[in-house]
């Protein structure tokens, strides 16, 4: 049994010793004590179905034994600079990662986080082209250091950043965007930025294939090929941010960009590789997690779409595989964000033992990005809990 401090004590200590900028989910925040595959446990041993482990970014499942074993074995052996001294592990892992990549994406550079990977990618693009201008998308999230905050396009993540040389293009958002699902029309904005907002040359273009923090916004079809074409034509590099969408989560493909049929110049990734730790690819393959994401994700999306027929408040159900979004609106015509209702339902679902995330510009989108070991039964339980919570509104 749990003998640690209570939620109130933890909250008090957080308040005293941690930055006041930290926020937490739920009106009564959850004290997570243990995790096992797709489940989390609170201090009373109560089990919750984790529909949001992808944020951490848990692919294989919490405390997966193979991952724990690999980490413990390595820590017991040696943990030191892999640059100054030789060790086969880093070279083997680079080879394994390169084997998952299309085209001539065959060289790996390891960093500590997604933010650093994106900072490096932006710097490489700038050094390679000799240009400063970067094009990124509205509603994007790319990290929280100076450069990546500039590329991020959400006010709450911009703080006091000097946004030098970043242009935010129209977001190819099929639900809220002005051109609906016409990806090529949105891509014209990238061309316009190059033509009218720069010297005619850009360092690069960076985007997620499905925006995560932005509220599971899947790109309009045909967007990336057209946008990449405009950028490549003037010598810019195309960067795919796969931090949330990669590693088989979309089910149909291993990488998110593959669904749009493009090959980027640089691909960035982070915690998804190894359950929150940058290693361990084998489990994803051994346990067919990509296929599971496809099968369970399709089932989950079908059931969520059925829920949309039942409740007016659901404006949109979207995403691929196990990266799904449910956007709540109080008026389907005007798409008025149902922010308070989103929070309320999220709380109710927690009381029923199901955790989902939220996001989107208006905070009115449920983000469903569970560990990839999620089962069909888990998916049904999640939808049933959402159904019940909505029926009680
Ligand atoms: N890019 C995307 C798309 C992300 O969602 C995140 C954070 N989850 C990052 C970059 C930054 O990664 P990190 O938190 O590892 O710095």
Q: pLDDT digit string (tens) for 268-317?
A: 998 767 544 546 878 888 889 999 999 999 999 999 999 999 999 999 99
**What DSSP character marks residue 195?**
I
Angstrom distances, CA of residue 198 to CA of 139, 181, 195, 234, 269 = 21, 27, 6, 11, 28
Q: 166 has which bridge partners?
A: 134
Alpha helices for the chain (secondary structure H): 7-17, 65-77, 88-99, 114-129, 146-151, 183-192, 223-233, 282-286, 289-310, 339-351, 376-391
Distance 148 CA to ligand 1 centre (A): 10
- Please give the C-alpha separations between residue 353 and each of 50, 380, 383, in angstroms, as whole numbers: 9, 13, 12
| Closest residue to atom 13 of ligand 1, CA basis | 114
Domain residue spans in the chain? 7-60+288-391, 114-269
Mean pLDDT of 327-350: 97
Out of 3.90.320.10, 3.40.640.10, 3.40.50.2020, 3.40.50.300, the CATH code matching 114-269 is 3.40.640.10
104 class by beta-carbon count within 10 Å (0-12 exposed, 13-18 middle, 19+ buried): exposed
Decide if 368 contacts 357 (C-beta within 8 A). yes
Residue 272, pLDDT score: 60
52 lines ligand 1 (CB under 6 A): no
Q: How does pLDDT run across 16-33, given as a tens digit for each residue?
A: 999 988 888 999 999 999
Q: Evaluate: CB of 244 within 6 angstroms of ligand 1.
A: yes
* CB distance 241 to ligand 1 below 6 Å: yes
Nearest-angstrom CA–CA distance, 377 and 256: 25
Please give the pLDDT value at position 278. Answer: 47
pLDDT at residue 87, as a whole number: 86
Query: Fold match between 7-60+288-391 and 114-269?
Result: no
Cα separation, 284 vs 287, whole angstroms: 6
Q: Taking residues 226-233, report their average pLDDT.
A: 98
The backbone torsions φ and ψ at residue 58, rounded to the nearest 5 degrees and listed phi first, read -80, 115
| Cβ–Cβ < 8 Å for 212, 256 | no
Q: Mean per-residue pLDDT for 116-144? A: 97
| Ligand 1 pocket residue status of 243, Cβ below 6 Å | yes
Residue 93: C-alpha distances to residues 96, 145, 275 (Å): 5, 27, 15
Place of tokens 């030191």: 80
pLDDT for res 274: 59
Question: What tens digit of pLDDT does each residue of 49-84 get?
Answer: 999 988 776 688 899 898 888 888 888 888 777 777
Q: What is the pLDDT of residue 276?
A: 47
Q: What percent of the chain has pLDDT over 90?
A: 78
Kindly state the average pLDDT of the residues 234-262. Answer: 96
Question: Of the ranges 71-85, 138-152, 221-235, which one carries the lowest mean pLDDT score?
Answer: 71-85
Percentage with pLDDT > 70 across the chain:
97
pLDDT of residue 74: 84
Q: Does residue 162 register a pLDDT over 80? A: no
Ligand 1 mean position, distance from CA 210 (Å): 13
Q: Does 239 sit in the ligand 1 pocket, CB within 6 Å?
A: no
Q: Does residue 143's CB lie within 6 angstroms of at least one atom of ligand 1?
A: yes
Q: Identify which of 111, 115, 267 to mutate to test ligand 1's pocket (most ligand atoms within 8 A of the CB).
A: 115
Q: Give the mean model confidence (pLDDT) for residues 27-52.
A: 94
335-362 mean pLDDT: 96
Cβ of residue 54 lying under 6 Å from some atom of ligand 1: no
What's the gap in Å between 331 CA and the centre of ligand 1? Answer: 32
- Residue 134 binned pLDDT confidence (cut-offs 50, 70, 90): very high
Q: Is the shortest distance between the CB of 273 and ligand 1 below 6 Å?
A: no
Q: If you average pLDDT over every residue of the chain, what do you get? A: 93
* Domain 7-60+288-391 is found in CATH 3.90.1150.10: yes
Lowest mean pLDDT among 54-63, 159-168, 224-233, 290-299: 54-63
- Per-residue pLDDT, averaged over 338-364, amounts to 95
């Amino acid at each position: 049994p749990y003998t640690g401090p209570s939620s109130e004590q933890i909250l008090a200590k957080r308040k005293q010793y941690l930055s006041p900028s930290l926020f937490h989910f739920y009106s009564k925040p959850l004290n997570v004590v243990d995790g096992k595959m797709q489940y989390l446990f609170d201090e009373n041993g109560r089990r919750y179905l984790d529909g949001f482990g992808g944020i951490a970014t848990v692919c294989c499942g919490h405390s997966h034994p193979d991952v724990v074993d690999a980490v413990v074995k390595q820590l017991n052996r040696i943990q030191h600079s892999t640059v100054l001294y030789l060790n086969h592990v880093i070279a083997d892992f680079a080879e394994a990662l390169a084997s998952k990549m299309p085209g001539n994406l065959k060289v790996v550079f390891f960093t500590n986080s997604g933010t650093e990977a994106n900072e490096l990618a932006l710097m490489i693009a700038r050094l390679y082209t000799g240009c400063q201008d970067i094009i990124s998308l509205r509603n994007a999230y790319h990290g929280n250091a100076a450069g990546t905050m500039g590329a991020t396009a959400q006010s709450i993540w911009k703080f006091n950043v000097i946004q030098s040389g970043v242009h935010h293009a129209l977001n190819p958002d099929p639900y809220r965007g002005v051109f609906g699902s016409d990806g090529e029309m949105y891509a014209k904005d990238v061309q316009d930025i190059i033509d009218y907002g720069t010297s005619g040359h850009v360092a690069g273009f960076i985007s997620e294939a499905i925006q995560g923090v932005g509220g599971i916004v899947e790109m309009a079809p045909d967007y990336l090929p057209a946008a990449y074409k405009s950028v490549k034509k003037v010598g810019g590099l195309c960067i795919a941010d796969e931090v949330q969408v990669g590693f088989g989560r979309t089910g149909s493909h291993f990488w998110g960009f593959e669904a749009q049929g493009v090959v980027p110049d640089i691909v960035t990734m982070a915690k998804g590789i190894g359950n929150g730790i940058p290693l361990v690819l084998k489990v994803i393959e051994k346990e067919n997690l990509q296929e599971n994401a496809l099968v369970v994700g399709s089932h989950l999306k079908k059931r969520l779409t059925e829920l949309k027929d039942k409740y007016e408040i659901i404006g949109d159900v979207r995403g691929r595989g196990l990266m799904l979004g449910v956007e709540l609106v109080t008026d389907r015509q005007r798409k008025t964000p149902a922010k308070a209702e989103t929070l309320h339902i999220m709380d109710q679902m927690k009381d029923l033992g199901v955790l989902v995330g939220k996001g989107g510009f208006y905070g009115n989108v449920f983000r469903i990005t569970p560990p990839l070991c999620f089962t069909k039964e888990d998916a049904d339980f999640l939808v049933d809990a959402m159904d019940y919570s909505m029926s009680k509104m």
